Amino acid sequence: MPIIETQAIHKIYPNGVHANDDINFSVEQGEIHALVGENGAGKSTLMKLLYGLEQPSSGRIFIRGDEVLIENPQDAIERGIGMVHQNFMLVDSFTVAQNIILNRETKNGPQIDFAQAQAHTEALAAEYGLAVNPRARIADIPVGMRQRVEILKALYRGAEILILDEPTAVLTPSETQDLFAAIRNLVEGGKTVIFITHKLKEVIEISDRVTVMRDARQVGTVNTAETNERELARMMVGREVFMQVDRAAVTRGDAVLSVRDLTYADASGHQLLKQVSFTVYQREILGIAGVEGNGQTELAEVLTGLRPPTTGEAFISQQQILGQGPRSVRERQVAHIPEDRLTNGVALSSSIADNLIIDRYYREPFTRRGLLDIKSIVNNGIELIREFNIIAPDGTIPVNALSGGNMQKVVVARELSSAPKLLIAAQPTRGVDIGAIEFIHQELVDQRTGGLAILLISADLQEVMKLSDRIMVMYEGEIVGIFPNDSSLTEERIGYYMLGAERQPQAEMERYA
Ligand SMILES: Nc1ncnc2c1ncn2[C@@H]1O[C@H](COP(=O)(O)OP(=O)(O)OP(=O)(O)O)[C@@H](O)[C@H]1O
Ligand SMILES: [Mg+2]
């Protein structure tokens, strides 16, 4: 008997979007069940129905054969269902242990018993190999640990069925391996895991069975051992996906961004960028390879005016840009795809159309003679929604009613349509499906061929290698190598630099910088 099963589930959102259309989804006790499908296919919606965050429009849900009504997450938790969301839901100013016990506090008299909470957290963490520091504040811990906190929080509440909505989208490859080890521990301990991802390689690696959704429907459920990435891709997209980019050789032009001896230290004095110097030219993509957390984020944020540098210089077409704030950087025709779309990328309650002009509404054609030109804002929305295949009924929809990957497409569409000279793209394809990755990759390369200078930051080494003309490796805040991306450069070789095991001789670095 399945541990959880849906029968003829439909979900129609109040705005008329039919997000789940006759879903008969079934998961066996103790399995790792992957759920895949394009952006907007209805995966998160189905999971929200199981977790009580949304109500089905019709259909039935069974747990161990008993029909259940899951009216809210409280109900779901009582029935042993836990969920870790695509967008984390932790309280930043609280500690790890506080977050884990939130609303589940054991009282010691009128006081909350933190000692017990910490002990309990540590025991759970040790049992499943989910390393966290119970005393650290959420705001201060890396994203991989935040995720482990979310998982522990669900386990603390007694989850038997754990739903993980795109857990690996924000993880480095080695964090992903740690997560997979934890998932295997969970399943060995009798838990059941439902796992959403866009990375088909992960599906093959970790799951027992996989369900594919497309356009709100269930295409099928197959045993992982009897399928492969290519077949899954075809089931998802309904066509063959090649994931190849056409990167014609071009001669690079003038220097666009020149960075000289840039350093950055955080409030507690840690040197996160050390003497960073490099140049990005017209008609080239300079990719940064590196394990996340080696200064890439800080570099992008300093260059886009979100953080002040400590020392050093950066010029765009000979003009100094540092320390002047984001708007002034934008005015120099710098576009930025931020790594965290929810914090820096979109205004969640504003419409898609408004989000697409949020950086340029005060200019023509969106403002004329001091007045907003609604028609041109609407038309711009319609055009970009079509071009970037943003799945939405129309541009008036608030961004928070979009699926995760479609939010990302809004950010990418806005930035690529801003006619930039320089694009700083951090994790540009995070959370988007394979068809959209193919499109965004080609778009980045085409704009580069058309003259754009791109600084690409990605945790995905294959993405960096596929797109870049030159590759620069960062390790502990320093550049440890810069290479032309030719056939002599292999993933393995870059790997040594990423781990700090190798360092390019200074003279060679200067030649390619
Ligand atoms: N709160 C909401 N109100 C209205 N429509 C919504 C809401 N949430 C999601 N939708 C719509 O329902 C459809 C399915 O969205 P869902 O988030 O389930 O997709 P998904 O498969 O998880 O996609 P992704 O891979 O991008 O995360 C989309 O068209 C989305 O715009
Ligand atoms: Mg989703």
Q: Which helix (H) or strand (E) holds 278?
A: strand 271-281
Centre of ligand 2 from the C-alpha of residue 95, in Å? 27
Q: Is 0.85 surpassed by the pTM of this model?
A: yes
Question: How far is C-alpha 373 from the chain's CA centre?
Answer: 33
In the structure encoding, which two tokens stand for residue 445, read together?
Answer: 């390369």
In the structure encoding, which two tokens stand for residue 490, read together?
Answer: 């292999």
Sign of CA dihedral 398, 402, 408, 413: negative
Q: Tell me, what's the pLDDT at 118? A: 81
User: Distances in Å between the alpha carbon of 496 and those of 111, 112, 274, 295, 492?
Assistant: 51, 48, 20, 17, 7
Q: Tell me, what's the pLDDT at 228? A: 96
Every domain of the chain and the residues it spans: 4-237, 245-330+457-513
User: pLDDT (tens digit, 9 = 90+) per residue, 57-100?
Assistant: 999 999 999 999 999 999 999 999 999 987 778 888 898 988 98
Among residues 419, 30, 363, 408, the alpha carbon closest in space to that of 207 is found at 30
pLDDT-based confidence at residue 256 (cuts at 50, 70, 90):
very high
User: Distances in Å between the alpha carbon of 399 and those of 31, 363, 396, 493?
Assistant: 34, 22, 9, 41
Looking at ligand 1, which atom is closest to the CA of residue 405? 26
Beta strands in 79-200 (DSSP E): 81-84, 107-108, 111-112, 161-165, 192-196
pLDDT-based confidence at residue 109 (cuts at 50, 70, 90):
low
Query: With contact defined as beta carbons under 8 Å apart, do 395 and 350 qualify?
Result: no
Q: CATH assignment of 4-237, given 3.90.1150.10, 2.40.160.60, 1.10.1740.10, 3.40.50.300?
A: 3.40.50.300
Residues with CB under 6 A from ligand 1: 13, 15, 17, 19, 37, 39-45, 391-392, 401-406
Helix-helix angle 229-237:434-449, to 10 degrees: 90
Q: What is the DSSP letter of 167?
A: G
Please give the Cα distance from 81 to 47 (Å, whole number).
10
Ligand with minimal distance to 404 CA:
1
Same fold, 4-237 and 245-330+457-513: yes
Query: With contact defined as beta carbons under 8 Å apart, do 359 and 414 qualify?
Result: yes
Centre of ligand 1 from the C-alpha of residue 42, in Å? 6
Looking at ligand 1, which atom is closest to the CA of residue 166? 27
Helix-helix angle 143-156:173-188, to 10 degrees: 10
- Answer whether residue 458 shows pLDDT above 80: yes
Q: Which residues have C-beta within 8 Å of that of residue 22, sequence separation ≥ 6?
A: 8, 9, 10, 59, 217, 218
Ligand with minimal distance to 341 CA:
1
Sign of CA dihedral 418, 463, 292, 47: positive
pLDDT average, residue stretch 282-309: 93
Centre of ligand 1 from the C-alpha of residue 185, in Å? 31
User: pLDDT (tens digit, 9 = 90+) per residue, 461-477?
Assistant: 999 999 999 999 999 99
Highest mean pLDDT among 79-93, 105-119, 288-302: 288-302
CA angle 506, 502, 260 (to 5 degrees): 40
- Answer whether residue 108 shows pLDDT above 70: no
Give nearest CA residue, ligand 1 atom 5: 401
Please give the Cα distance from 153 to 149 (Å, whole number).
6
Q: Tell me, what's the pLDDT at 112? A: 66
- Answer whether residue 342 shows pLDDT above 80: no
pLDDT average, residue stretch 221-248: 90
pLDDT-based confidence at residue 110 (cuts at 50, 70, 90):
low
Question: How far is C-alpha 275 from the chain's CA centre?
Answer: 29
CA angle 465, 304, 270 (to 5 degrees): 85
The pLDDT mean for the chain works out to 92
Residue corresponding to tokens 């990328």: 345
Centre of ligand 2 from the C-alpha of residue 21, in Å? 16
Give nearest CA residue, ligand 1 atom 27: 404
pLDDT-based confidence at residue 175 (cuts at 50, 70, 90):
confident
Query: With contact defined as beta carbons under 8 Å apart, do 1 and 31 qualify?
Result: no
Please give the Cα distance from 20 to 85 (Å, whole number).
18
Q: Tell me, what's the pLDDT at 111? A: 65
Q: Tell me, what's the pLDDT at 412? A: 95
Ligand with minimal distance to 394 CA:
1
Q: Tell me, what's the pLDDT at 374? A: 93
Three-state DSSP string of 198-244:
CCHHHHHHHCCEEEEEECCEEEEEEEHHHCCHHHHHHHHHCCCCCCC
Q: Is the peptide bond before 173 cis (omega within 30 degrees of 0)?
A: no
Share of the chain above pLDDT 70, in %: 98
Among residues 173, 258, 181, 262, the alpha carbon closest in space to that of 498 is found at 173
Helix and strand numbers (H, E) in the chain are: 17, 25
Q: Tell me, what's the pLDDT at 106? A: 61
Sign of CA dihedral 149, 150, 152, 156: positive
Query: With contact defined as beta carbons under 8 Å apart, do 121 and 134 qualify?
Result: yes
- Answer whether residue 107 shows pLDDT above 60: no
pLDDT average, residue stretch 169-173: 83
- Answer whether residue 119 shows pLDDT above 90: no
Q: Give the least confident one: 133-137, 217-221, 379-383.
A: 133-137
CATH topology of domain 245-330+457-513: Rossmann fold (3.40.50)
- Answer whether residue 238 shows pLDDT above 90: no
